[in-house]
Amino acid sequence: MEQKISQLELAAKMAKRTGITKQDTENFVRIFFETIREGLMQDKLVKVKGLGTFKLIEVSDRESVDVNTGERIRIEGHTKVTFTPDASLRDQVNRPFSEFETTVLADSTSQEDMERIDTPAVPPVKKTEEPAPVQKPEPKPEPKPEPKPEPKPEPKPEPKPAKEEKAPEQKAPEAAAPVQQSEGSSWWKWLLIIVLLFIVGGVCYYFGTQRGTNEVTEPAVDDEPVVEEEVIVAEPTPEELAKNYPQVEGGDYWIVGEVCVHEMQVGEGLLKIARKELGNSDLMEYIIVFNDIKNPDIIPPGAQIRIPKMVRKDK
Amino acid sequence: MNNKEFLSTVMRKGQFPSRVVNQQVAALVSELTAALEDEQTVSISSFGNFEVKKRLERVIVNPTTGQRMLVPPKLVVAFKPSQILKSKI
């Protein structure tokens, strides 16, 4: 597997395929790559069908910090070669993993859920019934970014691989199925169960990502009033919550709480943490303000950095 | 420089007929792809190495929506220019 093929071996394989002499093929390979190089120097861009695109990119001077000494160092500007594989090459190489797609995770999907998902069968009903009672009585510190009682119109980006599916969703088909069959005497019982499941689903959704997660499509209209009752619990708005914390002036987000504490590692900077924890290094400013950091360039390893919980400001 | 210009330059430089160039390019690309598919590194002297790297799955956060997404693991082709190529450019 971990094997290296040289230019000559490549040429030999090609010669076998085309029936052209080895020498000619080697010659061709040499010229092929030489031409790419010349093309790069001439146009800064070479496209080869089936292989990909080679590009020259200018990197300007920049300042950095030596991670060990904390000294400022200067990285000189230079030109670098980048290669972007053609779609066909990329897909071919990625074939072992091709069936995976990016999927939206619900907030309620914790680490243990992910581990359990790896085992083939997930017992969905049990799972959601459990967390619900725990979550309900809690005072909800979460902000309310959108009016809640209309989860129905939400788009449902259904991920194909069943792997990361959110629990309430897995339940949905089950809930839907009984409705159609249940004309008989146990009609009320079924309705009760459905309503219960929907409440649980609603709560889970509520604790789920703040918008746009995969949502349960509503089977019955009867459930609607129930949801509204559920929702009435008073919520502090982001603005109210934000008063308790330092804010970034002119920023797009409110800081409304603390998510976790991050311990600085050797060689780590705030930019890196911002990218990792907040998803964008531009949001570093929020960490600086939240932690009241005086000099963001020098943060000793082992320092405890609190990661803020952020909510987008309404316009 | 697009594919067409590139091929004609190769043709001119090596004095190959176009049919041979097309055939050779197709063979090169498919052999290279086949080698990379087996996770082999292809090293072209004075140009660089093509290798396959594994990217682990990871969770990303969309900062505007707060959505968390799971990006699946994948295999990607990486090109590492050789020192010679770097110094020439």
Residue A88 belongs to domain with CATH number: 4.10.520.10
CB distance B37 to A16 below 8 Å: no
Give the Cα separation of A112 and A101 in Å (integer): 21
Within this chain, do residues B48 and B88 fall inside the same structural domain, yes or no?
yes
Last residue of a domain, one of A231, A266, A287: A231
What is the domain range of residue A271?
Answer: 238-312
Instruction: Give the β-pairing of A52-59 and A78-85.
Output: antiparallel
pLDDT over 70 at A234, yes or no: no
CA–CA gap between residue A183 and residue A220 (Å, rounded): 14
Q: Please name the residue of chain B whose CA is at the shortest distance from the CA of residue A161.
A: B72
Q: Tell me the chain A residues in contact with residue B61 when contact means C-beta distances shorter than 8 Å.
A: 278-279
- Pairing mode, if any, of strands A4-6 and B41-44? parallel
Q: Which residue has the higher pLDDT, A230 or A157?
A: A230
**Domain shared by A218 and A293, yes or no:** no
Answer yes or no: is A104 within a domain: no
Q: Name chain A contacts of B19, Cβ cutoff 8 Å.
A: none
Burial of B49 (0-12, 13-18, 19+ CB in 10 A): middle
- Please report, rounded to a whole number, the percentage of residues in chain A having pLDDT higher than 70: 61
Give the pLDDT confidence score for residue A185 in this predicted structure.
Answer: 54
pLDDT score of A283 more than 70:
yes
pLDDT tier at A45 (50, 70, 90 boundaries)? confident
Across the interface, of A29, A49, A101, the residue whose CB is closest to B3 is A49
| Domains held by chain B: number | 2
Per the structure, the complete domain to which residue B54 belongs is given by: 41-89
Nearest to A48 by CA among B40, B65, B67, B25: B25
CATH number for the domain spanning B45: value is: 4.10.520.10
Beta bridge partners of A45: A55
Q: Mutate one of A35, A113, A311 to test the B interface: name it (highest B CB count within 10 A).
A: A35
With CB atoms and an 8 Å threshold, state whether B41 touches A212.
no
CB pair distance less than 8 Å for A312 and B64: yes
Q: How many domains does chain A have?
A: 3
**Shared domain check, B46 and B71:** yes
Tell me the average pLDDT across A62-82.
84
Domain boundary among A231, A258, A293: A231
DSSP 8-state class, residue A275: I
Q: What's the predicted TM-score (pTM) here?
A: 0.45
Indicate the residue of B38, B71, B75 with minimum beta-carbon distance to A102: B71
Residues B50 and B9 in one domain: no
Whether residue A95 and residue B37 make contact (CB cut-off 8 A), yes or no, is yes
Q: Is B66 in the same domain as B84?
A: yes
Inter-helix orientation angle B18-37/A22-43, to 10°: 90
Same-domain check for residues B79 and B45: yes
The answer on B3 and B33 residing in a single domain is yes
How confident is the model over A140-177, as pLDDT tens digits?
444 444 444 444 444 444 444 444 444 444 444 444 44
Please tell me the least confidently modeled range out of A96-105, A216-225, B61-70: A216-225
Q: Does A203 score more than 80 pLDDT?
A: no
CA–CA separation, B42 and A4 (whole Å): 6
